[in-house]
Amino acid sequence: MAVSDVVGHQARAQLLFGLRVATALVGAVVVGGLGLGNLVRRWESHDLPLAQVAAFAVLAAVIAVEAVLLARRRSWGRWGPLAVAAVLAAFALATVTLPEGRTASAVDWAFGAANWVGLVVLLERPLWTVVAFLAAHESIALVNLLLVADVDKGDLARLATGSVNVIGFPLCVAVVASVLHRLGAEAAAACAVVERVRTADAVAAESHRRRQQRFAELSAGTIPLLAGLADGSLSPEDAAVQRRSAIEAARVRRLCAETDVVTNPLLHELRHCADIADRKGVVVELEARGHWPTPPVAVRRDLTDAALTALATAGSWARVTVVGDDDLVSVNVVADCDDVVPPRPSTPGVRVELLGHGTTTWVEATWQPTA
């Protein structure tokens, strides 16, 4: 998971957790305080009081489970629909067992309690689920009232008046939760943008620092060479000067190749080193066998330094062979050159061997990835 996704998830969780706690407290007060109080005070008015007790027990159980989930910082998950169904079933039981014509009255304690309990379960879900639940809640009360034969305008007015609070307040809380969801998503998107910008800046700064360091390393060889050619102390006709120029040119080409995004950086940089010899008319053969892990930049420089030294001083032909696996990477160069002095490796895991026979020189640089 990306850092921005984690930050966005944490932001949404923090924003919603406080709202969940507040909603659960309201639900507990409404059910355990107002609802239970009305049920106890009007116990004698109910024809089936045990059915009312069963409905109250279901709503109280849902509130209790929500308290446990909040303590453990968890959500309802796949149990949410089942809990909502239980809330609607409990409300329906409490409603149909009311005395005739008492829907949305003081006796109907569940009318203003079940709505908050359902909201507690659905608070982290999309807004339309809360709207659907409140619509189902209102439909149960309306259908039960219409089933009463002698329903009058006063009963309908009482239901409409009570529905303003029963639907309005939970719906406002659900809208706030939806806004918090959107704000969390926007916060995640903003964090993603900031993260990308910071990453790009860090990469650019590090790339610039490494390039400056590499140019400083090259300047130790190239600047004296260019200064000597400029002031005439070095002659372009001198074979040693030509060899130094070819070596430094190959290193500059390799520096440029190090920033390229390729599947095999070692071969890519060797091709650029061989290009300098090719421009001099040297026939270069490059062959690769096996598969090996990508060496770090410092290791690739040591492996290619030995090769480019031989390639830059080759007279007419050179053969470069790269062989590797998970345990060993070897760069071999055979060329018609002499007086080759490759630089000493700067990394401990690289070894360079040199063998000359007449005008033919063999140079091998090896690296052990597991060392």
Please say whether the beta carbons of 107 and 117 come within 8 A.
no
Mean pLDDT on 341-370: 85
What CATH number did the domain enclosing 256 receive?
3.30.565.10
For the record, the structure tokens of 202 come out as: 């860090």
Shared domain for 37 and 176, answered yes or no, is yes
Question: What total of structural domains would you count in the chain?
Answer: 2
Of 313, 301, 312, 311, the closest CA to residue 344 belongs to: 301
Shared domain for 250 and 101, answered yes or no, is no
Shared domain for 138 and 19, answered yes or no, is yes
Within a domain: residue 334? yes
Tell me the three state secondary structure of residue 355. strand
Four-CA torsion 314, 288, 217, 230, nearest 10 degrees: 30
Within a domain: residue 313? yes
Mean pLDDT, the chain, whole residue set: 84
Torsion sign across C-alpha atoms 112, 118, 123, 125? negative
Of 121, 52, 124, 123, the closest CA to residue 86 belongs to: 121
CA within 13 Å, CB half, 315:
7
Cα dist. 222→53, 75, 174 in Å? 93, 66, 70
Tell me the three state secondary structure of residue 358. coil
Within a domain: residue 154? yes
Tell me the three state secondary structure of residue 203. helix
Distance CA 166, CA 30 (A): 11
Shared domain for 78 and 183, answered yes or no, is yes
Shared domain for 184 and 242, answered yes or no, is no
The parent domain of residue 332 ranges over 235-367
Distance CA 311, CA 269 (A): 13
Q: What is the pLDDT of residue 222?
A: 77
Within a domain: residue 203? no
Shared domain for 99 and 181, answered yes or no, is yes
Please say whether the beta carbons of 117 and 27 come within 8 A.
yes
Model's pTM, two decimal places? Answer: 0.54
Using CB atoms within 10 A of its CB, is residue 118 exposed (0-12), middle (13-18) or buried (19+)? buried
Identify the residue with better confidence: 276 or 111.
Answer: 111
Shared domain for 145 and 239, answered yes or no, is no
Return the HEC string of 118-162: HHHHHCCCCHHHHHHHHHHHHHHHHHHHHCCCCCCHHHHHHHHHH
Please name every residue paired with 357 in a beta bridge, in sequence order, or none if there are none.
360
DSSP code per residue over 32-91: IIIIHHHHHHTGGG-S-HHHHHHHHHHHHHHHHHHHHHHHTT---GGGHHHHHHHHHHHH
Q: What is the pLDDT of residue 9?
A: 60
Please state whether beta strands 360-367 and 329-335 pair in parallel, antiparallel, or not at all (unpaired): antiparallel
- What is the CA 136 to chain-centroid distance, rounded? 39
Distance CA 209, CA 211 (A): 5
Q: Which amino acid, residue 41? A: R
* pLDDT tier, 3 (very low <50, low <70, confident <90, very high otherwise): very low
Q: What is the pLDDT of residue 1?
A: 47
Within a domain: residue 200? no
Least confident range from 130-139, 223-232, 278-287: namely: 223-232
What are the tens digits of pLDDT across the range 200-209?
899 888 888 8
* pLDDT tier, 8 (very low <50, low <70, confident <90, very high otherwise): low
What are the tens digits of pLDDT across the range 240-257?
787 778 777 777 778 777
Shared domain for 9 and 154, answered yes or no, is yes
DSSP code per residue over 218-285: HHHHHHHHHHHHHHTSS-TT-HHHHHHHHHHHHHHHHHHHTTS--S-HHHHHHHHHHHHHHHTT-EEE
What are the tens digits of pLDDT across the range 279-312?
888 899 999 999 898 898 889 988 988 888 888 8
DSSP code per residue over 267-323: HHHHHHHHHHHHHTT-EEEEEEEE--PPPPHHHHHHHHHHHHHHHHT-SSEEEEEEE
Distance CA 88, CA 110 (A): 10
Shared domain for 89 and 156, answered yes or no, is yes
